[in-house]
Amino acid sequence: MLFDNISYVDKNFELKRGWVATEGNRIVYVGSEPPADMANAGAGASADAATGAKAGAGAIKDYGEIVNGKGKLLIPGMHNAHAHSPMTLLRGYAENLPLSAWLNEKVFPFEAHINDERALPATRLAIAEMLRFGVVAFADMYYFADARAKAAMESGIKLNMSQGIIVFDESLSYDDLPAKSTNEYIFNQYHNANDGQIKIDLCVHTEYTTTERVVRAVGDLAVEFGVNTHIHLSETKSEHEQCKQRRAGKTPAEYFESLGFFRQPCLAAHCVWAEPSDWQIFKEHNVTAVCNPASNMKLGSGFAPVGQMLKAGVNVALGTDGVASNNSHNLLKDVYLLATIYKGFTGDTTNITPAEALYAATRAGALAMGRSDSGLIATGMRADLVMLDTAVPWMQPEHDALNNLVYSAQGTDVMLTMVDGKVCYRNGEWSGIDVQKAIAQTDECAKAILSEL
């Protein structure tokens, strides 16, 4: 596919105009002039493209479909670095509660009635929503691995999948837990499947829902398997401070570091109450702080020190969390929040630039998820691309298209989501998901669970 004379975000996160071509699963050309080897100039291409192609020399190449770039913007595919996709079943169910009551009184009892059969359509629906809003990959912490992997492989989206572990009994070792056999199974069955479409991470839920011996064991296994890890960290003030009381003054980050959990790269979700000493741990051990601004505000958790972490050299990515706490997988909404609420919270209008917000949603997430060949529009990178419509009232006039993208764009402006060179969503159509069926089945499953509570 060739995007013809289109505005695009370049590898330095600056706005440029030019031509972007894909072949197979890679971006093969990015330039201010049309490719000199373009054989299909004139078949829908602009006059400038046709002229440039005729002037070129050497081997001739057919890039396939030519997309007219007028009134459009091409950005790197977004990476949702923290989600719980089957929790689509709980959208709008548990509201206006603090985190502890939200979890223990509403979420955990509901989740006890979810199984693979019910998780499958809910995950399909979550993926449809993400693709609709320009997400090409997501890091998912939950259960029902077969259902999640099946939904991802059908849809074409990329998935970093981890199996949640919660254990309170100090007498139990990791070997005693069902998660041991589950992690071995999903690693052998799915890790790097479909040319890396699916990657397996290892997970413990939080400091306060797991035991020291299990944390140590999972950290050891991550090193053995050579995979990343995924945790919740310092989401609430009470979690953070109570950890220090339980763990001889150690913050959650210091506690996990002391147990060797950060020997592999880690996605640390939330980090709202992380301290400066924690930021140094993050930087030293390749721990990504995954900010979830919508979820953190909605649950009253607070405001992560994103600007300060960025200045400290921490990789900061962006996540939606589950729709039980966010109500949406529209990551562009979280991009907007990331670029605005921390200005208000700190009183510093320079805190989080539009480029930093977009980087968090794209390149930072890709790096955090072990997908170093994604998240940028550059030759040789994976063809993970999102095209938005800018010929709409709220995106005009165009003094600065990057400012408009972050502060004005709507998720529904996404016209096309391409993953590894395959168009997975385009203009209201999903190539691998029967969305109406997923809606009906998810609704049926949610009603069935409510009848069982």
pLDDT recorded at residue 40: 62
How far apart are the C-alpha atoms of 263 and 274, rounded to whole Å? 19
pLDDT recorded at residue 161: 98
Which tokens in the block code for residue 267? Answer: 């996605």
Mean per-residue pLDDT, 401-410 = 96
pLDDT recorded at residue 59: 65
Residue 42 pLDDT > 80, yes or no?
no
pLDDT recorded at residue 100: 85
Q: What is the pLDDT of residues 53-66, one digit of tens each?
A: 444 445 688 899 99
Do you know the residue count of the chain? Answer: 453
Structural domains of the chain, ranges and CATH numbers in brackets: 2-75+379-430 (2.30.40.10), 78-368 (3.20.20.140)
Cα-to-chain-centroid distance, residue 370: 12
pLDDT recorded at residue 52: 44
pLDDT recorded at residue 97: 87
Residue 81 pLDDT > 80, yes or no?
yes
Contacts of residue 376, defined as CB under 8 A and 6 or more positions apart, other chains included, come to 11, 76, 362, 363, 366
Q: What is the pLDDT of residues 137-193, one digit of tens each?
A: 999 999 999 999 999 999 999 999 999 999 999 999 999 999 999 999 999 999 999
How far apart are the C-alpha atoms of 319 and 145, rounded to whole Å? 20
Contact yes or no for 139/230 (Cβ under 8 A): yes
Exposure b/e, 297-332, CB count within 10 A at least 16 = b: ebbebbbbbbbebbebebbbbbbbbbbbbbbbbbbb
What does residue 353 show for φ and ψ, rounded to 5 degrees?
Answer: -80, 160
Q: What is the pTM of this model?
A: 0.95
Mean per-residue pLDDT, 283-310 = 96
pLDDT-based confidence at 98, cuts 50/70/90?
A: confident
Q: What is the pLDDT of residues 378-402, one digit of tens each?
A: 999 999 999 999 999 999 999 999 9
How far apart are the C-alpha atoms of 180 and 194, rounded to whole Å? 24
Q: What is the pLDDT of residues 245-270, one digit of tens each?
A: 999 999 999 999 999 999 999 999 99
Mean per-residue pLDDT, 270-289 = 98
Residue 46 pLDDT > 60, yes or no?
no
Residue 286 pLDDT > 80, yes or no?
yes
Residue 421, helix vs strand vs coil? coil
Which tokens in the block code for residue 227? Answer: 């995979």
Q: What is the pLDDT of residues 442-453, one digit of tens each?
A: 999 999 999 999
Residue 346 pLDDT > 70, yes or no?
yes
Which tokens in the block code for residue 278? Answer: 């924690």
Exposure b/e, 70-93, CB count within 10 A at least 16 = b: eebbbbbbbbbbbbbbbbbbbbee
Which tokens in the block code for residue 78? Answer: 């977004």
Contact yes or no for 132/414 (Cβ under 8 A): yes
Q: What is the DSSP string of 119-169?
A: HHHHHHHHHHHHHHTTEEEEEEEES-HHHHHHHHHHH--EEEEEE------
